Structure 1
Amino acid sequence: MNTKRIIQSVTICFISVVMSACEKIDIPKEELMSTYDQVYMAAAARNPNSVVLKMADSVYYIVYGASFGGFGAAPQDIGVTFETDPSKAAAFNSLNGTNYPLLPEGSYQFTETSATIKKGTLATAPLAIRINPFEKLELFKDYILAVSIKGASGGVKLNESLTTAYFVVRASLDFADFPELDRSGWQIAGISTEEPAEGEENGGLGIHMLDNKPSTFWHSKWDGGEAPLPHWFVIDMNKTQLLHGVYFIGRQSDKEGKPSSVKMEVSSNGTDWEEAGTLSPANINSKQKFFLSASHECRYIRATILSTHGNTQFSHLAEFGAF
Structure 2
Amino acid sequence: MFNCGKIAIIGGGSWATAIAKIVVEKTHHIGWYIRRDDRIDEFRRLGHNPSYLMGVRFNVDEICFSSDINEIVEKYDTLVFVTPSPYLKNHLKKLKTNISNKFIVTAIKGIVPDENLVCSEYFHNVFDVPEENIACLGGPSHAEEVALERLSYLTVGCCDEEKAQAFTDILVNDYIKTKTSLDVVGIEYASVLKNVYAIASGICSGLKFGDNFQSVLISNAVQEMSRFLTAVHPIERCVYDSVYLGDLLVTAYSNFSRNRTFGTMIGKGYSVKSAQIEMEMIAEGYFGTKCMKEINRHMHVNMPILDAVYNILYERISPQIEIKLLTDSFR
Same-fold status (TM-score > 0.5): no
Range of TM-score over shorter length: under 0.3
Greater strand percent: which structure? 1
Higher alpha-carbon Rg: 1
Greater helix percent: which structure? 2
Provide TM-score, normalisation by structure 2: 0.21
